[in-house]
Amino acid sequence: MLYCPFGKTGTQISAVSFGGMRFADPADINASAALIHYAHSKGINYFDTAPAYCGDRSEDIFGTALRGLPRNSFLVSTKCGRASGDELRRSLERSLQRLGVDSIDFFYIWHLMNPADWDSRRRGGAVEAALRAREEGLIGHLLCSSHMEGTALGQVLAEDVFAGVLLGYNVLNFPYRRAAVELAGQYGIGVVTMNPLRGGLIPQNPQRFRFLKTITGDDLVPAALRFNLSHPAISSALVGIATRQDIDMAVAAMEEFSPYNSAQLQQLQDNTREAFSGLCTGCGYCLPCPADIPVPKFMDSYNQLILSGGKHQAVQDRFNMHWRISPELAHRCIACGACEQRCTQHLPIIERLAELPDKTASA
């Protein structure tokens, strides 16, 4: 296993980390805990969980597994979403108790949506409470996770509050987030990427993404992971693990790891444009919208519909779990056409917006 320094935290984390949001049968705590032990035996030392993952069972699963491992052999992270200072404290204490540790190595202010959300978290006292907990030793390092566009997230990181950041980054959405990765690197802030396989959509669409194999000579999963880790600011790719095969595949991808060279990266970037034919790249050029519709988030959710082969549940999950916005916002569209004129992919945005509420209502 490859280990990388995680920003200025002084820790070395495994280049593949274990995301605890996809256990196959979370009700079977012992089988799920055994999966964590298997990953640990393969060299994975960074384990990520959160309250509410897997029907709120994930932290208990990790607690069961981690109690059986030497404390200095793993690093664990959990999170707290939108909360007041008091609520964050209660959430943290519950996580400590469930995970069976005295200190959370990496504690995330979870899911920052936009600059206004960041501002309201600060004003609500959550950041202050987290920093106090860090002084008490209940938290090792304070980090944030976010789905914000790269430049806006970079401004949050510039405030020097966070030691690390967890963000969605993969061979498909990197233009949208790359600015944040690069700024984090400049500030010495550790970067862990989530969703490196785009929620499984990359391996599920081998034809569309065959260019990954052609250019790199790697299979799809190793190619997608190596793409992330080829960026020098990225320390680890967080992979949602459901089976031993997931672990084996991710660990194998790190054997004799070498980053892609600049020619390969340029080719990947060029080919991504073709793979995105008919898809939103998340570039954000369609904004602003006079009706205040977050068009890139809606078009990203429509991507899910295309890439999943029309599965309404996939779109609904994207709205509910990832973006946390209501598809009904699409009804605000006044069909002014401004976004379509600016869209770099020439997408039929108005038509797709009209479709999306139905695609989720009947999921």
Which chain residues interact with ligand SF4 by CB under 6 A? 280-286, 289-291, 293, 295-296, 299, 333-339, 342-345, 347, 349-350, 353
Q: Residue 282 Cβ, how far from ligand SF4 at the closest point, in Å?
A: 5
Please, which residue, 150 or 282, has the CB nearer to ligand SF4? 282
Residue 13 C-alpha from the chain's centroid: 17
Is residue 136 exposed (0-12), middle (13-18) or buried (19+ Cβ within 10 Å)? exposed
Please, which residue, 81 or 284, has the CB nearer to ligand SF4? 284
**Strand stretches in the chain, DSSP E:** 3-5, 12-14, 16-19, 46-48, 75-80, 104-112, 139-146, 164-168, 190-194, 234-240
Please, which residue, 47 or 176, has the CB nearer to ligand SF4? 176
Q: Residue 83 Cβ, how far from ligand SF4 at the closest point, in Å?
A: 30
Q: Residue 220 Cβ, how far from ligand SF4 at the closest point, in Å?
A: 23
Please, which residue, 256 or 274, has the CB nearer to ligand SF4? 274
**Closest to 20 (Cα-Cα) out of 91, 77, 69:** 77
What's the CA gap between 299 and 279, in Å, rounded?
A: 8
**Closest to 7 (Cα-Cα) out of 141, 232, 188:** 188
Please, which residue, 158 or 334, has the CB nearer to ligand SF4? 334
Q: Residue 300 Cβ, how far from ligand SF4 at the closest point, in Å?
A: 7
Q: Residue 340 Cβ, how far from ligand SF4 at the closest point, in Å?
A: 6
Cβ density class 331-344: b for 16+ within 10 Å, e for less? eebeeeebbbeebe
